[in-house]
């Protein structure tokens, strides 16, 4: 009688079964670890695109913006002039006055009306292009300083058709000093002569004839003047639909709609597919795990343990297995991410984000769902418990 009372008061050990059945426990732990690893590493790879596009969509437009206003926005209406020559002259004067008015504002250091070219940057998912100015060689160091870019290799442009490129863009496009810049796009027109290091992937060049992606007012500004609609209000300019404006507001909008929203949708779909398949695998493995233990639970019941005691044992075992799986999964994830970073991300000049709290919440939510689903086979196993006397009957 005393032995039975002792057994009923003592707590069933969750670790004992796990230690004595390492193979079965290992299968479950490994399945959970691989589930964690797959969900986290896949998100890590896709989020590289989001992080890599941030510098030139979120930081660069805080210091440099591009504006190409229609004559109407500059106060010049072609219908007011008898011939095109007078109209062209008035437009040039309005454009020059616009530049002077901009430079008179606090927070705008310089304005160029000049040609621009495009930089190209390829992420894990998709690619992105952004403008950079083509100016006289003497202006390149000034712009680089304004953008916080330092020359780390080569030289600044000294003649026509020379470009200095951020180190990330260099790696991403497999460029080196002396190469033709984006030869497939521009032919043998622009040559890379130097490498920049910056927080915003700055690129600056000099023109070579009229090879360009358009003419713009290139405005060197601070963050307070990086949204052109605010600047236009200060100058009393009414903007029109055909105005071509590439500023901080437009850049952020494009980034959110064409990068963040698209990539996060892809992540959600891929993670959902992974979660469904791996969840099924975990549940099947756990059901098999439970089936082999019904007799053991019946023995506990015969020794005087209640179904509540046995359920507590099952849940403690489950928590140990899940927590161990998460820890091992995190360790495996770090190793895989390091491998992916050094083999794929860093050589391509991409930017990684290692700690992903939102993805961790997704994983924990997925694991919570799995624990919830596993309550079904657990309760079925609990209901099958009988004492040895009842089993003999």
pLDDT at 316 over 70: yes
E strand or H helix at 311: helix 307-340
Please give the share of the chain, as a percent, with pLDDT higher than 70.
93
pLDDT of 134 reads: 98
Per-residue pLDDT, averaged over 360-377, amounts to: 87
Q: Per-residue confidence at 20, pLDDT binned at 50, 70, 90?
A: low
pLDDT band at 391 (very low <50, low <70, confident <90, very high): very low
CB 249 within 8 A of CB 232: no
Question: Where are the chain's structural domains?
Answer: 2-54+258-392, 115-215
Mean residue pLDDT across the chain:
89
How far is the first Cα of the chain from the last one, in angstroms, to the nearest whole number? Answer: 23
Of 363, 379, 359, 388, the residue nearest 318 (C-alpha): 379
For the segment 108-160, what is each residue's pLDDT rounded down to a tens digit?
Answer: 999 999 999 999 999 988 889 999 999 999 999 999 999 999 999 999 999 99
pLDDT for 3: 45
**Per-residue confidence (pLDDT) for residue 9, from 0 to 100:** 47
Q: Across the beta sheet with 64-68, what order do the strands follow? A: 150-154, 191-197, 162-166, 203-205, 127-134, 108-122, 215-221, 64-68, 244-246
pLDDT confidence of residue 388? 54
pLDDT value of residue 387: 64
Residue 2 scores a pLDDT above 50: no
pLDDT band (50, 70, 90) for residue 11: low
As a dihedral over the C-alpha atoms of residue 126, residue 174, residue 356, residue 199, rounded to 10 degrees, the angle is -110
């Amino acid at each position: 009688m005393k032995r039975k009372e002792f057994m009923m008061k003592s707590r069933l050990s969750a670790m004992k079964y796990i230690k004595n059945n390492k193979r079965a426990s290992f299968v479950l732990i490994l399945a959970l670890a691989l589930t964690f690893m797959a969900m986290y590493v896949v998100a890590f790879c896709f989020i590289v695109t989001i992080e890599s596009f941030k510098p030139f969509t979120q930081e660069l437009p805080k210091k440099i913006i591009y504006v190409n206003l229609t004559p109407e926005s500059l106060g010049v209406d072609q219908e007011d002039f008898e011939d095109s020559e007078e109209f062209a002259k008035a437009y040039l004067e309005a454009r020059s006055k616009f530049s002077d008015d901009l430079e008179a504002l606090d927070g705008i250091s310089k304005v160029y009306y000049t040609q621009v070219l495009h930089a190209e940057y390829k992420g894990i998912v998709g690619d992105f292009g952004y403008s950079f100015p083509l100016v006289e060689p003497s202006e390149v160091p000034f712009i680089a300083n304004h953008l916080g870019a330092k020359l780390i290799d080569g030289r600044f442009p000294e003649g026509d058709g020379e470009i200095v490129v951020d180190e990330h863009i260099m790696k991403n496009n497999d460029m080196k000093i002396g190469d033709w810049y984006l030869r497939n796009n521009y032919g043998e027109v622009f040559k890379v002569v130097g490498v920049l290091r910056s927080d915003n992937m700055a690129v600056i060049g000099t023109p070579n004839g009229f090879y360009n992606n358009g003419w713009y007012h290139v405005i060197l500004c601070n963050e307070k003047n990086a949204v052109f609609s605010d600047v236009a209000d200060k100058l009393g300019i009414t903007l029109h639909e055909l105005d071509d404006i590439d500023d901080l507001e437009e850049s952020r909008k494009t980034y959110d709609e064409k990068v963040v929203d698209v990539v996060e949708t892809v992540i959600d779909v891929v993670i959902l597919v992974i979660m469904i398949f791996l969840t099924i695998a975990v549940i099947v493995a756990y059901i098999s795990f439970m089936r082999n233990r019904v007799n053991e639970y019946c023995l506990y019941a015969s020794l005087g343990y209640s179904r509540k005691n046995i359920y507590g044992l099952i849940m403690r075992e489950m928590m140990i297995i899940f927590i161990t799986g998460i820890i091992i999964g995190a360790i495996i994830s770090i190793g895989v991410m390091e491998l992916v970073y050094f083999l794929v991300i860093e050589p391509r000049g991409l930017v990684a984000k290692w700690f992903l709290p939102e993805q961790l919440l997704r994983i924990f939510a997925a694991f919570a769902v799995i624990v919830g689903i596993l309550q079904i086979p657990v309760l079925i196993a609990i209901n099958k418990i009988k004492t040895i006397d009842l089993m003999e009957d």
